[in-house]
Structure 1
Amino acid sequence: MSSVVQLIRSSALADAPYASAATAPPASRLIFLAGACPLDDDGRTVAPHDYAAQAARCVETLSTALEAAGATLTDIISTRVLVASADRADLVTAWDVVHTAFGDHEVPSTLLGVTVLGYPDQLVEIEAVAVVAA
């Protein structure tokens, strides 16, 4: 099933690896996802000190939550990627994993460096909103 999300790029803005905006038809159903965290099945943080591995686990968690809601990554209309670091290289490491997982579906996204996240040893969290046909 194809996504109802329409990605919008503006030639008046700098080229970026994500759309500058996205829309969905009026008869769509929004899915607000909790922040996807890098937790294993027992609730422990995976891969302490590894930004890439935690980002990958967050994408897996996000995909599982989407599946439960009847959606996939291509139904996401926006993301916010939170990275517990003041070092830009750590943010880019996490972003590269997330961007690769989304492939050509380059949704509007915000990448933020934050002081701390909620779980012990947690370095990455992904917030997302998805949309599917009603």
Structure 2
Amino acid sequence: MDYACAARTNGPLVITAGACPLDEHGATVCVDDPAGQARQCVRNLAATLREAETDLDHVVRCTVYVATRDRGRLRTTWNAVRDEFGTHAPPATLLGVSLLGYDDQLVEVDAIATPA
């Protein structure tokens, strides 16, 4: 069970909830590995966007939350997210936060996209 959801607005936007680093069984992956968790978050986000009939190339804004106070871990996480997006570079905000919702969760990514 990968947790992420999306809701369409009356306008041409898809707004997602935070994609978490969960596998198909609902378990947190890549414990203590923010880059690995970031990759899983973006993969889960991509799956959610496909369900909403769009994709990562149509993301117009994203926010990346990282449970850390360490700037090095923030950079590592950001680099992994950026790599997953490939050549598409939407405007984004990277935030260090104190805690996220799942056990061992370090990263969460939400996004706003336009329809494909």
After TM superposition, the score normalised by the length of structure 2 is 0.88
Query: Following TM superposition, by how much is the alpha carbon of 1:103 offset from its aligned partner in structure 2, in angstroms?
Result: 2.0
Moved over 6 A (4+): none
Letter in 2 for 1:129: I
Letter in 2 for 1:32: I
Structure 1 residue aligned with 2:23: 40
Structure 2 residue aligned with 1:79: 62
Structure 1 residue aligned with 2:103: 120
In 1, the alpha carbon distance for the partners of 2:86 and 2:30 equals: 24
Question: Could you say what secondary structure the match of 2:104 adopts?
Answer: coil
Match for 1:101 among 84, 92, 95?
84
Structure 1 or 2, whichever has the larger Rg, is 1
> Considering only aligned residues, what root-mean-square deviation do their CA atoms show, in Å?
1.4
Letter in 1 for 2:69: A
Q: Which protein is richer in strand relative to its size? A: 1
Question: Could you say what secondary structure the match of 1:79 adopts?
Answer: strand
- 1:24-49 superposed Cα distances (whole Å, 9 cap, x missing partner): xxxx6100111000001111111110
Letter in 2 for 1:31: V
In 1, the alpha carbon distance for the partners of 2:41 and 2:15 equals: 16
Structure 2 residue aligned with 1:4: none
After TM superposition, the score normalised by the length of structure 1 is 0.77
In 2, the alpha carbon distance for the partners of 1:111 and 1:96 equals: 11
- 1:79-110 superposed Cα distances (whole Å, 9 cap, x missing partner): 00000000001111110011111122111100
| Unmatched 5+ stretches in structure 1 | 1-27
Letter in 2 for 1:61: N
| Unmatched 5+ stretches in structure 2 | 1-10
Letter in 2 for 1:131: T
Q: How many residues align?
A: 107
